[in-house]
Amino acid sequence: MAFRDLHEYLRALEARGELQRVTVPVDPYLEMAEIADRMVARGGPALLFTNVKGSQFPVAMNLFGTQARTNFALGLDDPDRVGQTLRTLIQPPEVGGFWDKLRALPKLAELSSYFPKLVHDAPCQEVVDNDPDLTKLPVLTTWPQDGGPFITLPLVCTRDPATGRRNLGMYRMQVFDGKTAGMHWHLHKGGRYHQIAAKNQGERRLPVAVALGADPATIYAATAPLPRDIDEFILAGFLRRAPVELVRAKTVDVEVPAHAEFVLEGYVDVDELRMEGPFGDHTGYYSLADLYPVFHVTAITRRRDPIYPATVVGRPIKEDAYLGKVTERLFLPLIQMLVPDVVDISMPPAGVFHNLVIVSIAKHYPGQARQTMYALWGMGQMANAKHIVVVDKDVNVHDMDEVIWRVTNNIDAARDVVIVEGPLDDLDHASPRAHFGGKMGIDATRKLPEEGHTRVWPDDIVMPPEIKALVDRRWQEYGFRS
């Protein structure tokens, strides 16, 4: 089902008994984070705080606090199936004759029916404030050593100044004062690329609009690692099975979700940097204070009754793990288009997604595990993966006991470990230099003679099926009740 906006999603959660209102006064300084964190940890309901100290606006949290709720939010009864559909939609049509092209037409028509739609009258512009003050928003400080309050679920909308293509990304924003905030778009992300493109065009400023609160598919799409020039609003439309409505922001030439709760309009100066952080981050550590671009707000538009959304990141597992799992499932079929022998992928939340990727392959030839690592290290945000473990196709990559058992049995460290250097996620604190450092691949597949392994490789230990059937049959007879 396509939720129109955050309000409608919250109503649906309430109807399912998955929304709890907190009406007593609460403090956005640490207290709300602790409450929400406990609720996520126990798989509890979404929260709507209606009495937040220092702000007139309510705050919604724990919107994606379980996998089931996240799947409900995104209309994903079966994320793997939806991933397959996505793959068939974007797969290039057979380039045969006329009839093949004709057959591809419905697919193209379906895809284009998910493209965002421009509207002129939008709820997110019911109230327009041309003298904005960010400190009036109920922005949370989530951990004690944080450099200040951070907007944690912003939908940052930009356009490539050269091509006009849209990007939507979620990049946290530290509120410095009423008019400025940090823009923590990492070096490798879409927004940052647009900033660089603006500079290359000789422009001083990149127009930026930040939507706060939208339908859940749009919120998710901002976190999805799509290739650079692919519009995240199309992915949101695909998930909703209805186009996202966009409206041009009031004072900048950027399109924003029409049903957003708030829109912060402004710009990022192409050369300006300011110290941002520290911030208690996804990694479970404080990401270090560092120089990042600065967002200047020049107008805030909003609904008459806006709700401010927030999340808490920190030591895994937190709410963002469930959004990450959706990405893992949706993007597997796309990875398989490029590396067809990939069978499954797991990015366990404790590995913070970029720290550990476990991939199973149908191995046919020598060196294929290494080829798989190199392919993944060449692919979009996967390029930031610090450790890649490759196992055979029969290994369940989601079962960590099985992975540890197989991997530690199967590797000879002197032969099977690949150490390379390459780009690293901005959040990595272990490499001597920021953004660049060591990566490790582990080939835990069964080794072939062509790979120099001429010893016998032992079989798995499996009880014959006829003995299993016999014991099944005689179970009660042995005197066991169940």
Radius of gyration, alpha carbons of the chain: 24
Cα distance between residue 320 and residue 314, in whole Å: 9
**Contact between 186 and ligand FMN per CB under 6 A:** yes
- Give the range of 12-20, 217-225, 371-379, 441-449 binding ligand FMN by CB under 6 A: 217-225
- C-beta closer to ligand FMN: residue 172 or 250: 172
Q: Verify whether residue 281 is a known catalytic residue.
A: yes
Give the interface size with ligand FMN as a residue count (CB under 6 A).
21
**Contact between 167 and ligand FMN per CB under 6 A:** yes
- C-beta closer to ligand FMN: residue 180 or 368: 180
Burial-class residue 431 by CB neighbours within 10 Å (0-12, 13-18, 19+): middle
SS (H, E, C) 46-74: EEEECCECCCCCCEEECCCCCHHHHHHHC
Site pattern 343..382 for ligand FMN (x: CB under 6 A): --------------------------------------x-
Of the candidate residues 152, 158, 301, 384, the single one contacting ligand FMN (CB under 6 A): 152
Q: How far is the CB of 312 from ligand FMN (least distance, A)?
A: 9
The catalytic residue among 37, 160, 215, 281 is 281
Q: How far is the CB of 229 from Mn ion (least distance, A)?
A: 8
Tokens of 126: 């019911």
Q: How far is the CB of 320 from ligand FMN (least distance, A)?
A: 4
Contact, 146 vs 289, CB < 8 A? Answer: no
Q: How far is the CB of 358 from Mn ion (least distance, A)?
A: 25
Amino acid at site 261: E
The option from ligand FMN, Mn ion, none interacting with 211 (CB < 5 to 8 A, set by class) reads none
Contact, 267 vs 296, CB < 8 A? Answer: yes
Amino acid at site 350: A
Name beta bridge partners: 145. none
Burial-class residue 89 by CB neighbours within 10 Å (0-12, 13-18, 19+): middle
Of the candidate residues 142, 167, 218, 327, the single one contacting Mn ion (CB under 5 A): 167
Q: How far is the CB of 115 from Mn ion (least distance, A)?
A: 16
Site pattern 217..256 for Mn ion (x: CB under 5 A): ---------x------------------------------
- C-beta closer to ligand FMN: residue 89 or 230: 230
For 33, other C-beta atoms within 10 Å of its C-beta total 24
- C-beta closer to ligand FMN: residue 152 or 283: 152
**Contact between 284 and ligand FMN per CB under 6 A:** no
Cα distance between residue 395 and residue 369, in whole Å: 14
Of the candidate residues 28, 161, 190, 441, the single one contacting Mn ion (CB under 5 A): 190
Cα distance between residue 388 and residue 373, in whole Å: 6
**Structure letter (DSSP) for residue 289:** P
DSSP string, 212-238: E---HHHHHHTTS---TTS-HHHHHHH
Q: Which residues bind ligand FMN (CB under 6 A)?
A: 152, 167, 169-172, 184-186, 189-191, 222-225, 311, 313, 320, 323, 381
Q: Which residues are catalytic?
A: 281
